[in-house]
């Protein structure tokens, strides 16, 4: 788990007693560090954060060396007091780390024992940074050090800076030398102008194994985790620029332009990440004409790999609306989208150039081994004129689409007399330079008999559901799907370095994407999100009893798999914060969802009832004993 501040349990108990005394008698405790004020007790070069005041003090030390950058060092010195000639960091610190979870609405998260109203109301938290904003391409004054969450969380982050600030999030920006990993931000409520995300307004460095839940809103470049994932203009020479990996967002996203469930605008790399929140483009602000609203990213000019989106995407103004990406000018590889894409426009005499697609609205880059299953719905009323383009995979294509498919229903309702209407089961409009190879659409589920509404049909086949599900390997219609599609070996030979992205399942299942995300060295489809086939039920496991101090926090997109059916069936269900458990007719319990604290790993035995909390579940055994697992664990005697 996260590193304990001392090896002795007595020190932890003393610290807890001191906090209780502070809350009772109203005096503050600056810290519970060892005498001398050395704040890197484990010697890993990371300054340890125990209270929110210390998190706030990071803004004065953006390079993480333990020396305040700002001329006014009083607040930093209050958060990290030292004695005599001693220093905050003993020798060569490089950043910060959490030693426990923090909550803006809990007094115990503050060193003084009192909640700071300035951080929970009105304008809320001031994003960590210089205060000058970062803007789209990172240029400095961001966090340029290491921030390690150690699997802990920050809860109830509140920011409301809609009138005067861009680059908004827990961090204004993460610099090219900066990184954030192992951090969860729970129940956030973040609002700003442009470049808005729960974690950071702009990321120019590395984000790994981190996540966010809650809501975020802004004008443009708004994402559930990060507003803009991009580095400096010279980024092409930097091997480690703007990366997001193993991360996710369960965040509702609202705004006007360049909106994404995970990232608003991506010019970097996103891998093994996902978004589940709905994205809504209202078109009411200054960016109403901006392109891009997508389930994962608003627009992509970088690389997206092994990632997916499940949230619905709605717009009443956006010109580019897609299930995964609003617009794609980069590469999308081995990724998918399942959410509904819906556009509802009232004409009012405007000329529209509208694209909607199950995966992306407009592709000018490369799409390889990807698919979309969500419905695409376009409704236009009034006297609107222009081009209206809709496709199951892509609305329009001027790039390359290879070894991909779409199954979503396509419904288009436009006024009579619209001159330019292009609808296809796979692609609505294929430009002269658009290339489509080894691609398919389901003519039954899509309701479309034409694969490409306008443009060449080469490389596109309409198939029945049975025909798409029939092959169980790289044979038949999928015979070319294991060629070296991405040319990762650089030899331009499709017969060498063959790709293996797919699992074909049974003769009654669509192809599903395989990925190696959980670190066991084996790529499977089960670990790669909610794909278009039922997941197997998990066996009930008996967890090893753990105390709260022994539980190891885990982050990232890996979760236990929800059961789809069991012979016994369910008697009752109980839902927690991000997990659920069900009591079966055979009196056993099965759980699924977030399992970072063991809350989705029930014990064996027979039960008569269960109840779930935020990160735990308790069950009443048939012998009258209560058993709990998760953040609260143990065996308790029943009612007396």
Per-residue pLDDT tens over the stretch 241-281: 689 999 999 999 999 889 999 999 999 999 999 999 999 99
Tell me the C-alpha distance between 465 and 445, whole Å.
7
Give me the pLDDT at residue 639, please.
42
Among 353-362, 450-459, 584-593, where is mean pLDDT lowest? 584-593
Residue carrying structure tokens 């890993």: 44
User: In whole numbers, what is the pLDDT of the chain averaged over residues?
Assistant: 83
Strand partners, 218: none
The whole-number pLDDT of residue 436 equals 95
Whether the per-residue pLDDT at 369 is higher than 70: the answer is yes
Among the residue ranges 129-143, 170-184, 535-549, the one predicted with the least confidence is 535-549
State the residue for tokens 């906090």. 19
Please state the rounded mean pLDDT for residues 354-380.
Answer: 96
Q: Is 362 left (phi over 0), alpha (psi -120 to 50) or beta?
A: beta
* pLDDT for residue 109: 97
User: Phi-psi category of 245—alpha, beta or left, where left has phi over 0 and alpha has psi -120 to 50?
Assistant: beta
pLDDT higher at 542 or 197: 197
pLDDT at 453: 93
Determine the average pLDDT of the residues in 317-340: 93
- What does the buried/exposed string (b/e) look like for 424-440 if buried means 16 or more CB atoms within 10 Å of the residue's CB? bbbbbbbbeebbbbbbb
Provide the pLDDT for residue 569: 64
Split at pLDDT 50, 70, 90, the class of 475 is very high
Q: Specify the residue for token string 């109403």.
A: 288
pLDDT above 70 for 347: no
Residue 303: CB partners within 8 Å, gap ≥ 6?
Answer: 268, 269, 270, 271, 330, 331, 333
C-alpha R_g of the chain = 26
Res. 64: pLDDT tops 80: yes
Cα separations (Å) of 1 from 101, 149, 395, 576? 12, 10, 46, 22
3: helix, strand or coil: coil
pLDDT band, residue 130 (cuts 50/70/90): confident
The pLDDT assigned to 233 comes to 39
Which residues, in sequence order, are CB contacts of 546 under 8 Å at separation 6+? 598, 633
What is the pLDDT at residue 613? 87
What is the tens place of the pLDDT at every residue in 9-55?
333 333 333 333 333 333 333 344 433 347 998 888 999 999 999 99
pLDDT of res. 637: 56
Residue whose C-alpha is closest to residue 251's, from 189, 167, 162:
189
Query: Taking Cα atoms as reference points, which of 273, 220, 264 lies closest to residue 243?
Result: 273
pLDDT of 288 reads 44
User: Of 575, 574, 638, which Cα lies nearest the Cα of 609?
Assistant: 574
pLDDT for the residue numbered 349: 56
Span 204-223, average pLDDT? 95
Instruction: Say whether pLDDT at 603 is over 60.
Output: yes
C-alpha 58/C-alpha 171 separation (Å) is 10
**Residues 148, 553: Cα–Cα separation, whole Å:** 13
- Cβ atoms of 598 and 546 within 8 Å: the answer is yes
Name the pLDDT band for 455 (thresholds 50, 70, 90).
Answer: confident
Which of 229-233, 295-299, 400-404 is predicted least confidently? 229-233
Top mean pLDDT of 130-144, 233-247, 451-465 is at 451-465
* Nearest one of 391, 429, 396 to 408, comparing CA atoms: 391
- Report the chain's terminal Cα–Cα distance, integer Å: 36
CB 110 within 8 A of CB 53: yes
pLDDT band at 373 (very low <50, low <70, confident <90, very high): very high
Task: Render pLDDT for 78-117 as a digit per residue (tens, 0 to 9).
Answer: 999 987 777 888 777 999 999 999 999 999 999 999 999 9
d(CA 69, CA 346): 52
Q: Class of 122-332 per CATH? A: mainly beta
The answer to whether the CB of 305 falls within 8 A of the CB of 277 is no
Q: Where are the beta strands (DSSP E) in 466-545?
A: 502-503, 512-513
> Could you give the CA distance from residue 68 to residue 78 in angstroms, rounded to a whole number?
11
Confidence of residue 287 (pLDDT cuts 50, 70, 90): very low
Contact 300, 330 (CB under 8 A): yes
Q: Measured at the alpha carbon of residue 365, what is the angle toward residues 361 and 370, in degrees to the nearest 5? A: 70
CA distance 18 to 200: 34
Least confident of 190-194, 413-417, 472-476, 628-632: 413-417
Q: pLDDT grade, residue 300 (50/70/90)?
A: very high
Q: Where are the domains of the chain?
A: 1-84, 122-332, 548-636
Higher pLDDT, 44 or 317: 44
133 vs 311: CA distance, rounded Å: 29
Q: Are 616 and 632 in contact (CB under 8 A)?
A: yes
| Pick from 102, 104, 126: nearest CA to 115 | 104
The whole-number pLDDT of residue 129 equals 86
Distance CA 308, CA 400 (A): 19
Question: With bands split at pLDDT 50, 70 and 90, how would you rate the model's confidence at 537?
Answer: low
The whole-angstrom separation of Cα 180 and Cα 225 is: 12
For residues 132-161, give the mean pLDDT: 82
| Res 6 pLDDT > 70 | no
Residue 287: HSE in the Cβ half-sphere, 13 Å Cα cutoff: 23
* Contact residues for 289 (Cβ-Cβ < 8 A; gap 6+): 257, 317, 319
Residue closest to 243 by CA, chosen among 174, 190, 189, 340:
174
Residue 445 has which token pair? 């589920």
Residue 237 has pLDDT above 50, yes or no: no
| Whether pLDDT at 543 is above 50 | no
- Give tens-digit pLDDT for 390-420: 999 999 999 999 999 999 999 999 887 777 8
DSSP state of 567: S
Which has the closest alpha carbon to 516: 172, 210, 155, 272?
272
The more confidently predicted of residues 24 and 311 is 311
494-526, pLDDT tens digit by residue?
667 778 999 999 999 999 999 888 788 899 998
The torsion defined by the Cα of 155, 160, 161 and 167, in degrees rounded to 10, comes to 30
Instruction: Kindly give the pairing relationship between strand 179-181 and strand 206-208.
Output: parallel
Q: What is the pTM of this model?
A: 0.79
């Amino acid at each position: 788990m996260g590193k304990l501040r001392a090896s002795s349990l007595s020190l932890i108990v003393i610290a807890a007693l001191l906090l209780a005394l502070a809350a009772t008698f109203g005096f503050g405790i600056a810290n519970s560090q060892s005498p001398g004020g050395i704040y890197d007790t484990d010697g890993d070069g990371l300054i340890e954060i125990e209270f929110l005041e210390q998190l706030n003090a990071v803004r004065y030390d953006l390079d993480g060396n333990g020396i305040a950058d700002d001329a006014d060092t009083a607040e930093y010195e209050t958060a990290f007091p030292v004695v005599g000639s001693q220093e905050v960091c003993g020798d060569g610190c490089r950043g910060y780390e959490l030693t426990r979870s923090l909550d803006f609405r809990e007094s115990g998260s503050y060193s003084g024992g009192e909640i700071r109203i300035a951080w929970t109301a009105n304008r809320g938290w001031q994003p960590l940074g210089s205060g000058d904003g970062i803007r789209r391409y990172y240029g400095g004054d961001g966090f340029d050090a290491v921030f390690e969450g150690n699997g802990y969380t920050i809860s109830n982050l509140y920011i409301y800076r809609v009138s005067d600030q861009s680059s908004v999030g827990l961090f204004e920006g993460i610099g090219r030398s900066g990184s954030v990993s192992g951090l969860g931000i729970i129940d956030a409520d973040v609002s700003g102008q442009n470049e808005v995300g729960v974690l950071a307004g702009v990321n120019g460095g590395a984000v790994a194994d981190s996540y966010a839940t809650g809501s975020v809103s802004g004008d443009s470049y708004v994402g559930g985790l990060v507003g803009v994932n991009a580095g400096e203009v010279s980024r092409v020479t930097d091997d480690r620029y703007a990366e997001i990996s193993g991360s996710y967002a369960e965040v509702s996203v609202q705004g006007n332009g360049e909106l994404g469930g995970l990232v608003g605008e991506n010019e970097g790399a996103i891998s093994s990440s996902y978004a589940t929140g709905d994205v809504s483009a209202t078109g009411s602000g200054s960016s109403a004409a901006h392109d891009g609203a997508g389930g994962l990213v608003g627009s992509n000019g970088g690389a997206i790999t092994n990632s997916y989106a499940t949230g619905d995407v709605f717009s009443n103004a956006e010109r580019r609306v897609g299930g995964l990406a609003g617009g794609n000018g980069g590469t999308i590889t081995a990724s998918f989208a399942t959410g509904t894409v819906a556009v509802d426009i009232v004409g009012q005499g405007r000329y529209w150039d509208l694209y909607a697609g199950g995966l992306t609205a407009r592709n000018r880059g490369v799409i390889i081994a990807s698919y979309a299953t969500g419905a695409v719905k376009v409704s236009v009323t009034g006297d609107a004129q222009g081009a209206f383009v809709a496709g199951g995979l892509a609305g329009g294509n001027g790039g390359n689409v290879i070894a991909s498919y779409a199954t979503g229903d396509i419904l288009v309702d436009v006024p009579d007399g619209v001159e330019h209407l292009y609808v296809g089961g796979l692609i609505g409009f294929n430009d002269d330079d658009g290339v489509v190879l080894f691609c398919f659409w389901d003519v039954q589920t899509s309701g479309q008999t034409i694969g490409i509404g306008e443009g060449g049909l080469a490389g596109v086949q309409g198939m029945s559901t049975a025909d798409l599900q029939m092959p169980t390997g790289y044979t038949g219609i999928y015979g070319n799907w294991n060629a070296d599609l991405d040319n990762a070996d650089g030899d331009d030979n499709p017969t060498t370095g063959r790709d293996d992205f797919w699992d074909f399942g049974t003769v009654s299942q669509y192809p599903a994407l395989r990925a190696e995300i959980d670190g066991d060295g084996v790529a499977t489809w089960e670990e790669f999100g909610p794909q278009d086939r039922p997941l197997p039920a998990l066996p009930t496991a008996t967890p090893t009893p753990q105390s709260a101090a022994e539980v190891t926090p885990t982050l990232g997109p890996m979760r236990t798999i929800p059961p789809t059916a069991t012979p016994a069936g369910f008697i009752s269900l109980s839902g927690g914060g991000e997990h659920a458990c069900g009591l079966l007719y055979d009196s056993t319990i099965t759980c699924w969802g977030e399992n970072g604290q063991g809350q989705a790993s029930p014990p064996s035995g027979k039960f008569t009832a269960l109840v779930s909390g935020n990160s735990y579940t308790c069950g009443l055994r048939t012998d009258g004993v209560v058993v709990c697992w998760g953040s609260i664990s143990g065996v308790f005697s029943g009612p007396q």
